[in-house]
Amino acid sequence: MSNPSVEGSAVSPVTLSNEPPVVRFHHSKILALFRAVDSALIVGMLWVALNLLGLEWSNIYTAFAISAVIIFGFFAESNEVYYLWRGHSMYDLGIRLFLAWFATIPFMVLAVVLTYPFASLGFLAISSWLVATPVVMIAMHIGRRILLAKLRSNPAEPRRVAIVGANDLGLRLINSMSVMPWLGYKVIGFYDDRAPNNDVSRRLFGQNIEVKGGLEQLYQDSHDGKLDIVFVALPMRAELRMHSVIDRLADTTVSPYVIPDVFSFDLLHSRLTCLQGIPALSIYDSPLVDNGSAKRLEDLVLGLGILSVLAIPMMLIALGVKLTSSGPVFFKQTRYGMGGERIKVWKFRSMTVCEDGPNVAQAKREDPRITPYGNFLRRTSLDELPQLFNVISGSMSLVGPRPHAVAHNEFYRGQIKGYMLRHKVKPGITGLAQVNGFRGETETLDKMSGRIAYDLEYIRNWSVILDIKILWKTIFKGFVGQQAY
């Protein structure tokens, strides 16, 4: 029989399956367990509340408990409570759990109101249940975190980790591991044979960067069993180098991970998804892809509430517009909405003209087109109130980038990189830029660039909580200002 060994380079093994390889997402069994525990806790807390008050369990309470489990599960999933990759801090995790339950409460209160005429309910028991459940749930999750951190912070056999690439991405990776002790990682250090460079994507240097050696040292340590996991964090342009590292590590038993340097792009609400095992990362995406219904519910509930309060003042403002100058009460101007779609934005007329063409001049200080009464409306932002009709109809949101005239959009999109990305969400009556001083005229390119930077920061970090913070700040900072004219 001939010797099966051959001289020369190694031969790749034959692939037995005709199916292409796929990437599987990692799922935490502990978080899956706690998802079920949270559901049981919701039911159990209602049972405890009823028993403490001497009330009997009935079918109506069964319906309440099941409804709460379903609704809470939806909002918990929306808030990414059970996502291991998020690496929530304890505070962040507690906030997300609280918000998920807080969003559940209105639905349960509505169920109580609708059920009350037909069934006898223990209001005190239900109220106690709605208040106590999130407290116990948050305490339980924090306890789980503390226990896991204690068990895994000093494991008998920690997973020894090496980072290939002493760069900004590798440093960020180590910093992430340091705040997640429950992973049980022990970082050995960096391996990099490139010369130190001021380019952070290539090679960092300093007292916080411990380079154990070059790539040959990495292969030797891996071969000698000194490493368990290797994270390859080289720049994306170093594709051939990454392939070489992975091929050499195939001669060891370490588990290599490739960390793509996606942060070299200016990410905008980036999302990771998977198409039949093919990972895909969006670079410029909208938060409304996954959260459009939550944003719309927020706009409808708050928009209708605000409109009900301001209906009479708005009628008085409309009367003032009619009595102080000739022309229509409302002025509708064409602007870009979400996705660049053209919409008609409502305002109280504050000028003697109603310009809506290809050339629209921005309002300036002491602009002769502005009426005396219109000047008051613009300085107090009361001329924007009719945009509540846009919010309720769905073409605008309460919070978002302020819509610009079409003529201004067409000019600035060629002057400011990423300008049109602000249209990944609906325009708003107020926004992050406005509560940070960017209101009114943007007569210089620097001022418009500053406004756009805040608009993109809003999209990048959108959440319902951020919207509420902006609305709260608008009350004190968003209506008046030196730039409002």
Per-residue pLDDT for the chain (485 aa), expressed as one digit of tens each?
Answer: 445 444 445 666 666 656 666 566 655 677 778 888 899 999 999 999 999 998 989 889 899 999 999 999 888 887 777 775 545 677 788 888 888 898 899 888 888 888 877 777 888 999 999 999 999 999 988 888 778 777 766 666 778 999 998 888 888 888 888 877 767 788 898 999 887 766 655 677 765 677 888 999 999 999 999 999 999 998 888 889 999 999 999 999 999 999 888 887 888 888 777 777 777 888 888 888 878 888 998 999 899 999 999 999 999 999 998 888 888 888 888 889 998 899 999 998 887 766 555 555 555 656 667 788 888 888 888 888 999 999 999 999 999 999 988 888 888 888 898 899 999 999 999 999 989 888 766 667 888 899 999 999 999 988 888 898 899 998 887 555 555 54
Q: Are residues 439 and 327 in the same domain?
A: yes
Q: Are residues 300 and 434 in the same domain?
A: yes
Locate 245 and state its tokens: 């590292």
Dihedral of the alpha carbons of 289, 292, 295, 297, in degrees to the nearest 10: -170
Q: Are residues 184 and 293 in the same domain?
A: no
Q: CA–CA separation, 148 vs 152, rounded Å?
A: 6
Q: Are residues 193 and 144 in the same domain?
A: no
The DSSP call for residue 56 is: -
Residue with tokens 């093994």: 13
Residue ranges of alpha helices (H) inside 168-238 are 168-178, 215-223
Q: CA–CA separation, 135 vs 141, rounded Å?
A: 10
4: CB partners within 8 A, 6+ apart: none
Give the closest residue to 170 by CA, choosing from 225, 218, 118, 109: 218
Task: Check if the beta carbon of residue 330 is closer than 8 Å to that of residue 349.
Answer: yes
Return the half-sphere exposure (C-beta side, CA atoms, 13 A cut-off) of residue 260.
7
Q: CA–CA separation, 343 vs 390, rounded Å?
A: 9
Task: Check if the beta carbon of residue 395 is closer than 8 Å to that of residue 437.
Answer: no
For residue 188, which amino acid is it? I
Q: Are residues 165 and 53 in the same domain?
A: no
Q: Are residues 52 and 190 in the same domain?
A: no
- Tally the domains of the chain: 3
Q: Are residues 119 and 45 in the same domain?
A: yes
Domain ranges, residue 114: 29-153
Output the DSSP codes for 321-352: HHHHSSS-SEEEEEEE-GGG-EEEEEEE--BS
pLDDT value at residue 238: 86
Residue with tokens 């992050």: 432
Give the closest residue to 412 by CA, choosing from 458, 384, 436, 446: 446
Q: Are residues 195 and 117 in the same domain?
A: no
Q: Are residues 307 and 247 in the same domain?
A: no
Q: Output the domain CATH number for residue 56.
A: 1.10.274
Q: Are residues 306 and 258 in the same domain?
A: no
User: Would 20 be classed as within a structural domain?
Assistant: no
